[in-house]
Amino acid sequence: MAALTLLSIFLVRDLRVENVSKKQLVLETVIGGISDFFKDILGEEGKAYIPYLMSVGIYIGISNLIGILGFKPPTKDMNVTAALAIMSILLIEFAGFHKKGMKGWLKSFAQPTPVVLPINILEIFIRPISLCMRLFGNVLGSFVVMELIKTIVPLIVPIPLTCYFDIFDGLIQAYVFVFLTALFIKEAVE
């Protein structure tokens, strides 16, 4: 968290409206691209939730990448992934409640037919478990595989596999988490 805070302070220092620096241009391009990605998924109604999704995506991505430096990824702890999943499901349900009101939100559990009411209620508890276990399982699995490879063949083989497991797989897991959260938010506000 300290590294992310320091990086944020460094990146947003000396921002200008005119005569922008290359650093600011790159930063605005990246943030604009990510924001546009989420706008395409959520539409105008879900625009307010983009900062949360971007923050969680950056947190999970950086958390997964610190394994390269030899640190234990925070997302390897089920408490962290559970907290992220619970925050996401609370935001998803808030989005539906905020958009539809109390009556519309309660009514949405009986859609498309009242027969599915128990399944839709159960889904409130299944979604965070799914988000949590997917992220935790994939991060833990890649960590275990890399530790086994480092134990068996410690010199050259771990280097290209680290690129896959620590970089590619870690960033994919961040993407999947925020993408699914965005889809659930879109579903809640429709």
* pLDDT at residue 84, as a whole number: 93
* Rounded Cα–Cα distance for residues 180 and 95 (Å): 15
Q: What is the pLDDT of residue 176?
A: 92
* Residues 39/47, Cβ–Cβ less than 8 Å: yes
Asked whether residue 87 carries a pLDDT value surpassing 90, the answer given is yes
Average pLDDT value for residue range 108-131 = 86
Kindly report the pTM of this predicted structure: 0.84
Angstrom distance (rounded) from CA 124 to CA 20: 45
Predicted pLDDT of residue 50: 92
pLDDT at position 1 over 80: no
Q: How confident is the model at residue 180 (pLDDT cuts 50, 70, 90)?
A: very high
Cα distances from 115 to residues 20, 104, 109, 119, 154, in angstroms, run 58, 17, 10, 8, 56
Strongest mean pLDDT among 14-23, 83-92, 106-115, 161-170: 83-92
- What whole-number distance in Å separates Cα of residue 11 and Cα of residue 159? 30
CA distance linking residue 183 with residue 186, whole number of Å = 5
User: How many Cβ atoms sit within 10 Å of the Cβ of residue 181?
Assistant: 26
pLDDT of residue 105: 85
- How large is the average pLDDT for residues 74-79? 89
pLDDT band at 10; cut points 50, 70, 90: confident
**In sequence order, what DSSP letters do the residues of 88-146 get, joined into one string?**
HHHHHHHHHHHHHHHHHHHHHTT-S-GGGHHHHHHHHHHHHHHHHHHHHHHHHHHHHHH
pLDDT of residue 22: 87
**Cα 105 from Cα 130, distance rounded (Å):** 22
